[in-house]
Amino acid sequence: MAEAKAEVKVGLQGVIIAQSDICSIDGEHGKLTYRGYDIHDLAVHSTFEEAVYLLWHGRMPGRKELDTLQEELSENRQLAGEILALLRELPPAQHPMETLRTLISALSLYDPEAEDMSPEANRRKAMRLTAQMGTLVAAFARVRNGEEPIAPDPTLNHAANFLYMLKGETPHPGDARSFDVALILHADHSFNASTFAARVTASTLSDLHSAITSAIGTLKGPLHGGANEQVMRMLLEIGTLDRAEPFVRNLLEQKAKVMGFGHRVYHTEDPRATVLRKMSEDLGRRTGNLKWFEISRAVENMMIREKKINANVDFYSASAYYVLGIPVELYTPVFAVSRIAGWTAHVLEQYANNKLIRPLAEYTGPVNQRYVAIDNR
Ligand code: COA
């Protein structure tokens, strides 16, 4: 490729393309906030539902507002019969994200407000999509195993209900709370690739379902949401604590990337990894299954010692989800169960103050070509 004449920011690295009131990341100090609230504070004191309200409305809810949101979410979890029928009819996916992408796109065909671009309709669609993402992922997992989907339980919160729909039993309160915290941690992350994709789509004034479909396709990639699944596959391949160091050394010698490490924005530890590390350890201790935490720790020590690269959000979510009994191929869809809150908040923000997102590229291809008839080439 020719040398760039203009200054090209490959991968938009370091480029600020908009102002946003939703989420801030301080990559130097490892600080993440939603609407000014520190993620560590939210992880200790808040719930996923409260974080959703905060992301959508820009402030913490009062008791009545939170109750209303909880009711709305639980009332809208049920999927249309046509969507469940479609889920059963689709061919087996090579990856669950294919099915999720297809079904989220299909939801718009059954949403009477799909093309209504009023702020009120878009808020209602954001709520429905957030309510239904978990039901879709759990139903997918059940159908894939030849089991019947389990109807949502309106008495359970979002996190507990997801685990219930997945496994068919009311989860241990400790598991439900751990998953609730995981949902809070994954709910938003500023202009990450999938959120950016959603905002690009929204900036054409395309509908909310289209924007979220773009986001899901983007989250699927192994450099983004697909990393958590790859981390667990690596931990399973390592298998025993004594194999962790040689395994990672071998990867590094081959100049391969170790999934769950590194970040475009954080130059220090990802603050979500700090919470998830403790969660992985606590879950491991409570269930008597510390092995995956210990292998993870050994991999992390090696990465810090040899490469000075820190764990990101995907690294310890892998071992935590494993101990929670979430199937490995669901890890990326589970990311979407949470990130739908941030995606929709960003799309609403984009609509509220829209400008078409349309960057430039420096052309480096051939010039002054003359058209030659096909028989003369
Ligand atoms: N394992 C090994 N080396 C890594 C690494 C990893 N996970 N992440 C970054 N590096 C190294 C790169 O090899 C590169 O080294 P070099 O300069 O000697 O070539 C340097 O660190 C910069 O990495 P680069 O991929 O150019 O940074 P980026 O900002 O474009 O990419 C990620 C950021 C997240 C895509 C990248 O760190 C990565 O691929 N991580 C693994 C996937 C992952 O966990 N994704 C989830 C992100 S939340």
pLDDT band (50, 70, 90) for residue 176: very high
> Does 103 share its domain with 231?
no
pLDDT tens-digit map of 216-239: 999 999 889 989 999 999 999 999
| Structural domain contains residue 3 | no
> Does 314 share its domain with 208?
no
Specify whether the CB–CB gap between 249 and 238 falls below 8 A: no
- CATH code of 282's domain: 1.10.230.10
| Structural domain contains residue 365 | no
- Gyration radius (Cα) of the chain, Å: 22
d(CA 311, CA 313): 7
- Active-site residue, selected from the candidate residues 175, 186, 314, 346: 314
Q: HEC states along 102-164?
A: HHHHHHHHHCCCCCCCCHHHHHHHHHHHHHHHHHHHHHHHHHHCCCCCCCCCCCCCHHHHHHH
> Does 30 share its domain with 86?
yes
User: Does the annotation mark 314 as catalytic?
Assistant: yes
For residue 274, what pLDDT is reported?
Answer: 97
| Structural domain contains residue 70 | yes
| Structural domain contains residue 366 | no
> Does 319 share its domain with 339?
no
> Does 75 share its domain with 193?
yes
| Structural domain contains residue 151 | yes
- CATH code of 204's domain: 1.10.580.10
For residue 7, what pLDDT is reported?
Answer: 86
The preferred substitution site among 186, 223, 265, 306 for testing ligand 1, maximizing ligand atoms within 8 Å of CB, is 223
Ligand 1 nearest-atom number relative to CA 192: 48
pLDDT tens-digit map of 191-212: 999 999 999 999 999 999 999 9
What's the mean per-residue pLDDT of the chain? 96
From the number of C-beta atoms within 10 Å of its C-beta (0-12, 13-18, 19+), residue 235 rates as buried
> Does 170 share its domain with 244?
no
Checking if the pLDDT of 75 tops 70, the result is yes
Q: Ligand 1 pocket by C-beta < 6 Å: which residues?
A: 11, 223, 227, 257-264, 307, 309, 312-314
- Please provide the size of the chain in residues: 377
Q: List the residue whose alpha carbon is closest to atom 20 of ligand 1.
A: 262
CA 94 – ligand 1 centroid, Å: 26
Burial 196-217 (b: 16+ CB within 10 A, else e): bbbbbbbbeeebbbbbbbbbbb
Specify whether the CB–CB gap between 342 and 48 falls below 8 A: no
For residue 94, what pLDDT is reported?
Answer: 87
- Active-site residue, selected from the candidate residues 263, 282, 346, 375: 263
The preferred substitution site among 13, 189, 228, 261 for testing ligand 1, maximizing ligand atoms within 8 Å of CB, is 261
> Does 27 share its domain with 125?
yes
- 307 compared with 4, residue with greater pLDDT: 307
> Does 52 share its domain with 82?
yes
Please state whether the predicted TM-score (pTM) of the whole model is above 0.85.
yes
Let me know how many helices (H) and strands (E) the chain has, helices first.
16, 3
Q: List the residue whose alpha carbon is closest to atom 12 of ligand 1.
A: 257
> Does 40 share its domain with 150?
yes
Q: List the residue whose alpha carbon is closest to atom 36 of ligand 1.
A: 262
| Structural domain contains residue 257 | yes
Range of the domain at 246: 227-323
Per the structure, how many domains does the chain have? 2
pLDDT tens-digit map of 42-53: 999 999 999 999
| Structural domain contains residue 373 | no
pLDDT tens-digit map of 329-376: 999 999 999 999 999 999 999 999 999 999 999 999 999 999 999 999
d(CA 341, CA 337): 8
For residue 1, what pLDDT is reported?
Answer: 59
